[in-house]
Amino acid sequence: MTFDVTAPMVNDLDAYWMPFTANRQFKGAPRLLVSARGMHYTSRDGRRILDGTAGLWCVNAGHGRPEITEAIRAMAGHLDYAPPFQMGHPLAFDLAARLVSIMPDGLDHVFFSNSGSEAVETALKIALAYHAVRGEAGRTRLIGRERAYHGVNFGGLSVGGMVNNRRLFGTLLGGVDHLPHTHLPAENAFTRGQPAHGAHLADDLERLVALHGAETIAAVIVEPMAGSAGVLPPPRGYLERLREITTRHGILLIFDEVITAFGRLGHASAAERFGVTPDIMTTAKALTNAAVPMGATLVSGAIHDAFMRGPEHVVELFHGYTYSAHPLACAAAVATQEVYKADGLFTRARTLEDPWADAIHGLRDLPHVIDLRTLGLVAAVELAPRPEAPGERGFEVFRACYDRGVLTRVTGDTIALSPPLIIGDGHIDQLVSTLADVLRAIP
């Protein structure tokens, strides 16, 4: 079967309720992508669109990699599905071993799911269950952080801290509290890399321990670098302080690395870059280069082994998904990891970090720019909001960039950039110059 993506539509756009989208605006002026290769999408009207966001933070190796495509094709013809409950297939075990080998020492076991949201839900459930099987069933409280994004399932929403994601869905999970966010623009504006100020904000965890009692807290979950909230790198010493406090109080530390894992910050993980190892790590997105949906939750040996008790014929953890370790996802992930290794992409962001930051911070004196933040191959261009219309200017910049052939991501009045790791100097120039032209033109 072949797909003619240029053929006239056989229906209208009304049936599809699009996620995280201004549906009415989009369907009035659709932005339709029909193919992708390398650093570019092709739009339905035949224009090449430079991908400044790696899709949604996920196509780290660039689009249309033939190695990944062929791996998926071959597996579809060989093993289309294998049940993950009480059964397995070899590639799932191969992939798990590969992931353990590149992640920080101590993260020794992998639980597969289908997305970042599910990877987070898995992490939270494992954290609660871990304390229960160890005889500390009173540890049921989860601690998230303001402005955090941990997916859209009920657990992730509950520990997340983005108000628009939460406001329509009731009280969510009980027993959840939040640390303060780390965005301190008065002290840290226009920072390259980790900001100097803000490590003290981790000490608020001590306040929550005093308020609730350490014996009630199961886990703390943070993004090492908050992405969806507008690219907030961790202050120097902040993650180290969180690790120290959680360890002292017997609280598990979870890193949500759905965005940061697999080369985005110049290492296999943010944990490696910052030298802080969590008890649990969530990954997804670039795990398969986004070719097939997949999530992976890595846990320490101590956590895994706590469940391996009792009669051997009894299920140790009553959790999982129909499509956990799906053969096509595993094939895509193994091929993706081989591409990363062959092309040296985990270190490429380190090589490009300085020229990338130079280019982004060159926007400092342009209209509307109130802050710039860069880390690895990620950037935030924060704009002054219009009075009484927050988010409007950012959305106009996003649309104008697309019209000029560059895809960006908008979150409020912040333009977030996270290009594929194969980006070249010419692409950086085009991306930044286009954004500069738009900023000069937008009122």
Confidence of residue 8 (pLDDT cuts 50, 70, 90): low
Residue 130 and residue 73 share a domain: yes
Task: Among 343, 374, 400, identify where a domain stops.
Answer: 343
pLDDT score, position 348: 93
Distance CA 378, CA 57 (A): 9
Q: Which residue reads 């002054």 in tokens? A: 384
Residue 162 and residue 292 in one domain: yes
- Please count the structural domains in the chain: 2
Residue 173 token pair: 């999970």
Kindly state whether residue 158 falls inside one of the protein's structural domains: yes
Residues 364, 291 share a domain: no
How confident is the model over 257-272, as a mean pLDDT? 98
352 in the same domain as 332: no
Q: Is residue 64 included in any domain, yes or no?
A: no
pLDDT band at 137, cuts 50/70/90? very high
Average pLDDT over residues 291-318: 97
161 and 254 inside one domain: yes
60 inside domain = no
Rounded to the nearest integer, the mean pLDDT of the chain is 96
Radius of gyration of the chain (CA): 22
Look at residue 188 and tell me if it is in a domain: yes
CA distances (Å), 32 to each of 13, 17, 47, 54, 281, in order? 11, 15, 11, 16, 34
Strand segments (E) across 269-377? 280-283, 295-300, 369-375
Domain stop point among 343, 369, 390: 343
Q: What is the pLDDT of residues 20-59, one digit of tens each?
A: 999 999 999 999 999 999 999 999 999 999 999 999 999 9
Length of the chain (residues): 443
Nearest-angstrom CA–CA distance, 340 and 343: 5
Rounded to a whole number of angstroms, the distance between the first and last alpha carbons of the chain is 48
Residue 10 predicted with pLDDT over 60: no
With respect to residue 305, please indicate whether it lies within any of the assigned structural domains.
yes
Largest CA distance in the chain: 69
Angle at 427 between CA 424 and CA 429, to 5 degrees: 110
Q: Which of 343, 363, 396 is the last residue of a domain?
A: 343
Q: Is residue 13 part of a domain?
A: no
Separation of CA 373 from chain center:
17
- On whether both 124 and 36 belong to a single domain, the answer is no
Tell me what the mean pLDDT of segment 99-108 comes to. Answer: 98
Confidence of residue 12 (pLDDT cuts 50, 70, 90): confident
Which of 4-18, 89-103, 334-348 has the lowest average pLDDT?
Answer: 4-18
Cα separation, 48 vs 354, in Å, equals 27
Q: Are residues 252 and 215 in the same domain?
A: yes
Instruction: State whether 182 and 300 are in the same domain.
Output: yes
> What pLDDT shows up at residue 190?
98
CB 159 within 8 A of CB 221: yes
Instruction: Please check the confidence at residue 6 and state whether its pLDDT lies above 80.
Output: no
Query: Among residues 168, 169, 166, 163, which one has the least CA distance to residue 181?
Result: 163
Do 43 and 158 fall within a single domain? Answer: no
Q: Work out the average pLDDT over 87-92.
A: 98
267 shares its domain with 399: no
Question: Which pLDDT score is estimated for 289?
Answer: 98
> CB neighbours of 216 closer than 8 A, spacing ≥ 6?
138, 139, 140, 141, 175
The model's confidence at residue 312, banded by pLDDT at 50, 70 and 90, is very high
Calpha distance 351→235 (Å, rounded)? 22
Q: Which domain holds residue 32?
A: 23-52+344-441
In a domain, residue 15? The reply is: no
Q: Mention every residue, 6+ apart, whose C-beta is less than 8 A from residue 191.
A: 233, 373, 374
Is the pTM value of this prediction over 0.95? yes
Strand 414-417 and strand 409-411: the pairing is antiparallel
225 forms bridges with which residues in the sheet? Answer: none
Q: Provide the CATH number for the domain around residue 178.
A: 3.40.640.10
Same domain, 307 and 381: no
Q: Quick one: 89 and 47 in the same domain?
A: no
- Has residue 11 been placed in a domain? no
Structure confidence at residue 422 (pLDDT): 98
Closest CA to 192 of 359, 308, 323, 332: 359
Is the pLDDT at 130 greater than 60, yes or no? yes
Q: Cβ distance 71 to 331 under 8 Å? A: yes
Joined tokens for residue 341: 């290794």
